[in-house]
């Protein structure tokens, strides 16, 4: 099987309670050699960290999801930087803006995003961005913040418009392809990816959400990264082996700390 990476999943969610070891084993059997599980609230950090410590293929990132920015304590740069001392903590976030469900907390989301950006800037770890129904504000913030000092970034589960994609790419960012890109009605999303350089593409599941066909509507899991990669290979006109190799190389370049990690 081609070796690929699930750059964004949520293995601490209760959807995986009871069969997590089997989920990770199935991922490896499907060619998913590494997974980044994302902590969306810092109070969940102990469970997320424990999963990464218990399973060699699993790394983690930490931050406050924008939909929780108003209900969770405002994280500080210092708190995030302290977490980066863990050898398997490889990214900042997910953070960002979500005006689809939580537009009323837009200002708090912006404050939280700024904190995460500064932590990414200081640590050099990639900023993992969630953007939904907030394309203009997100583009404006990224351009302004990049002018204050560069930081690496990935637009996770990208399903926004072409303008935001162009802005992120122009700033050196990456676009991550999820199960959304495999849905029949997502041709516009596939077209946006097709117009992007392959050197800036990652793949992910965002599991337990957004399972690709033939599992749509069911629990998603990291093994299904392989199904999204098949669609990605078609979008870029590559063999599955070449697409897997290119996106894995991209992951190693962006998530350099994960690429450099080795068991003690």
pLDDT exceeds cutoff 80 at 96:
yes
- State residue 186's pLDDT score: 97
Average pLDDT over residues 198-219: 97
Residue 38 CA to residue 9 CA, distance in Å, equals: 6
Q: What is the pLDDT of residues 16-52, one digit of tens each?
A: 999 999 999 999 999 999 999 999 999 999 999 999 9
Residue 149 CA to residue 151 CA, distance in Å, equals: 7
Q: If one looks up domain 4-260 in CATH, what number appears?
A: 3.20.20.140
- Provide the pLDDT confidence category of residue 264 given band limits of 50, 70 and 90: confident
Mean pLDDT of the chain: 97
- For residue 212, give the DSSP letter: P
pLDDT exceeds cutoff 90 at 1:
no
Q: Sketch the domain layout of the chain as residue ranges.
A: 4-260
What Rg, from alpha-carbon coordinates, does the chain have? 17
Q: What is the pLDDT of residues 51-78, one digit of tens each?
A: 999 999 999 999 999 999 999 999 999 9
Q: What is the pLDDT of residues 102-160, one digit of tens each?
A: 999 999 999 999 999 999 999 999 999 999 999 999 999 999 999 999 999 999 999 99
Token pair of 24, please? 């990770």
The pTM for the full model equals: 0.97
């Amino acid at each position: 099987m081609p070796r690929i990476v699930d750059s964004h999943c949520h293995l601490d969610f209760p959807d995986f309670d009871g069969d997590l070891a089997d989920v990770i084993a199935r991922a490896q059997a499907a060619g998913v050699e590494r997974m980044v599980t994302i902590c969306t609230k810092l109070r969940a950090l102990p469970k997320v960290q424990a999963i990464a410590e218990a399973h060699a293929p699993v790394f983690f990132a930490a931050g406050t999801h924008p939909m929780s920015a108003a209900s969770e304590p405002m994280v500080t740069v210092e708190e995030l930087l302290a977490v980066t001392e863990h050898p398997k903590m490889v990214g900042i976030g997910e953070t960002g803006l979500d005006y689809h469900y939580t537009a009323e907390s837009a200002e708090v989301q912006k404050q939280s995003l700024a904190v995460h950006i500064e932590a990414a800037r200081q640590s050099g770890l990639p900023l993992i961005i969630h953007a939904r129904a907030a394309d203009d504000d997100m583009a404006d913030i990224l351009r302004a913040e990049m002018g204050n000092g560069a930081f690496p970034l990935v637009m996770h589960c990208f399903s926004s418009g072409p303008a935001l994609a162009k802005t992120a790419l122009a700033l050196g960012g990456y676009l991550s392809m999820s199960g959304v890109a495999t849905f029949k009605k997502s041709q516009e999303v596939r077209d946006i990816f097709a117009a992007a350089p392959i050197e800036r593409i990652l793949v992910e599941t965002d599991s337990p959400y957004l399972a690709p066909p033939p599992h749509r509507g069911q629990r998603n899991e990291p093994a299904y990264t392989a199904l999204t990669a098949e669609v990605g290979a078609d979008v870029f006109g590559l063999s599955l082996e070449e697409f897997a190799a290119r996106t894995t190389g991209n992951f190693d370049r962006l998530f350099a700390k994960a690429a450099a990690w080795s068991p003690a």
